[in-house]
Amino acid sequence: MRKRFKWLGAAVALAVTAASVAAGAPAAANAVHSLVVQTEAGKVRGTTTGAVDSFLGIPFAAPPVGGLRWQPPRPAAAWPGVRPATSYGPSCPQGAGTAVTEDCLYLNVYRPARAANERLPVLLWIHGGGFSSGSGSAFDGSLLAETNNIVVVTINYRLGAFGFLNLPGLSRSGAGNYGLLDQVAALNWADHNIDRFGGDHKAVTVSGLSAGGHSVCALLSSPLTHGLIDGAIIQSGGCPSHTVAESQAAGARFATDAGCTTDAVSCLRAKSAAELQGASAGFRGGILSGPLPTAGVPELPIAPLTAVRTGRYEKVPLLIGSTRDEVRGWAQPFASATPAQYAKSLEYLFGNRAADVGKVYPLSNYPAQDTAAYAAGAVWTDSSVFYGLGGCQYTELAQQFSKYQPKTFLYRFDARSPSAPAAPGTFDVGASHSADQAYLWPTATSVYDRDKLRLSAEMVRYWGAFVRQGTPDAAGQAEWPGLKDQRAMVLRLGGSSTVTATAFAAAQHCDLWNSIGYQWLDIDPDQLARQVGVVRR
């Protein structure tokens, strides 16, 4: 992994020769630079690769075990001496077959390995995974930190039933939102400690993709984050939430699945973490049936979507966007659907306007193989029926943010994930959900050609510029005006550029979607396929 990041960093550097100057890197290194850092809880010792210092596995809250299970996070206990910060902390409990330890509230810090004469802006990353999987350890912040002269923080937070269970009597506060409160605790940790690593606690940009992006919107809507967030990046994430009634209903189902039909709270507390994880498949749910933050409670008084629409959120500069084929990959259950079944799925979503949708998205527009899957993927993306992701509702969400914060910048990502090419004849997911992630956070399995490296370099610098100055204007790259100027960026291979907001909307047939009243899809795609009679291959 380290060798790959070193190679990628060098390749990106070829495209960003003046990056350190443009990013404001200090000309001299007079400040004290040490791999031993004193945090509020104790000293930690990091490691260096020569270009980047890393401090891994730092506890930002007490282990949520025993009596702290299903409780708001508590401060981490102090430790004596110097704690090694050279390996990642455990991931929070998630899917079957993974290690199950509730002691998982750790974060990681990456900074340029050079003394600085200024406090550096901070990017705090919240991973995705449907609030049921993922880990901060999957994201090495070295490339972003080195290229942009910033500090990068990646975090864990409680997932699934450990992080989002809501049952009456479970705790005096926080029920349904323990994972969200973990994120708040990480922000508070940064507020109190990041200056000690050379960061600036007054310049923290919180960023996330998918569930991480949902989290960013929720955090902006929470009264607990006032003064903790100075900028925000939402990648393929929106503002969905559950009501208290919805999250409590899911909690009751989980208790039943876990065999706790009497005195559910005491019964669940008596179970081991492994037992709870083994009973949580239903709670984790699917693409559209898993956990979400719960609104209507003190830490999230109003639904995030309502908060944005009414201006009751933290109005910081915002970078927001999605991918061109955002939900196409999830339409594969419709690969063998007949024209009649495709039409029936449109009726399920759009009622008496289904025929109008079918005229704009006829099957004849799509490949001969897996035709209905491509068509459904286009419909679902452009209409934003997956929690408002992608398409026209997403563009409208960005416009609503822009109404209250002029520094709002919209993008669409048009490239494939940098992974090995799909085999001939297989379903092409295109520029799918999270395809942009590996351009900012390289992985050991990604494959980059010259064009992909160039796009990665562009994005790394755009994101770094936004973290540094609240606008994604990077020297030597295409200018990126905000939505107030009615422009949106299209990030693509061969050179990114902006288009008018009108052209951006027209590409997604927003005239049609804005004329239709419809709800988000309320069942997972495979359930919808079965409901309309599709027989899977």
Catalytic residues, by residue number, are 210, 326, 433
Residue 530's beta-bridge partner residues? none
What percent helix, strand, coil does the chain show, rounded to 5?
40, 15, 45
Tell whether the torsion through CA atoms of 296, 299, 301 and 307 is positive or negative: negative
Nearest to 293 by CA among 250, 258, 255, 327: 250
Total residue count of the chain as it appears in this document: 537
Q: How far is CA 422 from CA 45, 396, 435, in A?
A: 43, 33, 14
Are 173 and 180 a contacting pair, CB within 8 Å? Answer: no
H/E stretch holding 8: helix 2-15
Please check whether residue 394 is in contact with residue 408, taking contact to mean a CB–CB distance below 8 angstroms: no
Tally DSSP H helices, then E strands, for the chain. Answer: 20, 14
Q: Contact at 8 Å (CB) between 232 and 319?
A: yes
Q: Which residues contact 500 (CB under 8 A, 6 or more apart)?
A: 486, 487, 488
**3-state DSSP call for residue 156?**
coil
Residue 169 DSSP symbol: T
CA distance 464 to 456: 12
* Closest CA relative to residue 283, chosen from 334, 321, 331, 248: 248
Question: How many alpha carbons lie under 13 Å from residue 295 in its C-beta half-sphere?
Answer: 19
HSE-CB for 2 with a 13 A CA cutoff: 8
